[in-house]
Amino acid sequence: MGLFFSIYTLLWILACILALIVCLSDSHSFAFSRGDYWKFLLSPWKIVTFIVAAAAMVVIAPYSGDPTWDAVDAGFMSLMTFLGAPWAIGSVYRLATRKLPLKQALVIFVVWMFTVSWFYDLYIFFRDGNYPAVWFSNIFASSFLYVTAGLLWNLDWNKDKGVIFSFREKTWPYPSPAAFGKIIWFALPLMALVTAMIIYFFFK
């Protein structure tokens, strides 16, 4: 590993440690530490769409033509996206609207980057013995999928407002009984966008 990547890796490891310290020092202020977040996340339609998307990523990874993609990084990044993207995207909105303390920005950044880049970088380094050549472009490609997935899994419906992004509600995150049929026409474009991006980046 060259000097640049050694310094870069050291910096992001330090960022991860600092983010962990912030989490542990004020864990109750993070939505993912509360049971309602997991009830919000583990609704049937979200689980089904995650399983379908993750399975597709894992199955097609060996045939993508990209030697850095395999079942391990595709599977792990899919799982981390499901677990963290709805929280991260919702938290970015709430941070921008001053509904969260600024210190959460570091944790959002670290969770986001670890999912879309840092795990992948480290895995490829240990697997192949070198830092992936596409590490920088991968940040943007994977972040696009991350944002889209985070928006998808924040879709909700209520009788007063219709289809909404749930992170705009005061009580977010909250478990919702809304059926997938209520949001399907808003979910389909996001799902189609993710599918198109996966096909493009895997088979370009």
Asked if residue 88 has pLDDT above 70, the reply is: yes
Asked if residue 204 has pLDDT above 80, the reply is: no
Closest CA to 34 of 173, 176, 153, 177: 173
More confident residue, 196 or 156: 156
Mean pLDDT of 175-184: 87
Asked if residue 163 has pLDDT above 80, the reply is: yes
Mean pLDDT taken over the chain: 92
Q: How many CB atoms lie within 10 A of CB 186?
A: 17
Closest CA to 60 of 80, 45, 77, 75: 75
Model pLDDT, residue 179: 81
Asked if 109 and 89 count as a contact pair (C-beta separation under 8 A), the reply is no
What is the spatial distance between Cα 147 and Cα 174, in angstroms, rounded to a whole number?
A: 20
Contacts of 86 (CB under 8 A, 6+ apart): 40, 41, 149, 150, 153, 154, 173
Name residue 164's beta-bridge partners.
156
Mean pLDDT of 50-57: 92
Which pLDDT tens digit goes with each residue over 8-24?
999 999 999 999 999 99
Model pLDDT, residue 203: 62
Biggest CA pair distance of the chain? 57
Contacts of 180 (CB under 8 A, 6+ apart): 44, 45, 187
Cis peptide bond upstream of 86, omega within 30? no
What is the spatial distance between Cα 38 and Cα 41, in angstroms, rounded to a whole number?
A: 5
CA atoms within 13 A on the CB side of 102: 0
Which of 23-37, 44-58, 188-202 has the least mean pLDDT? 188-202
Q: How many CB atoms lie within 10 A of CB 143?
A: 16
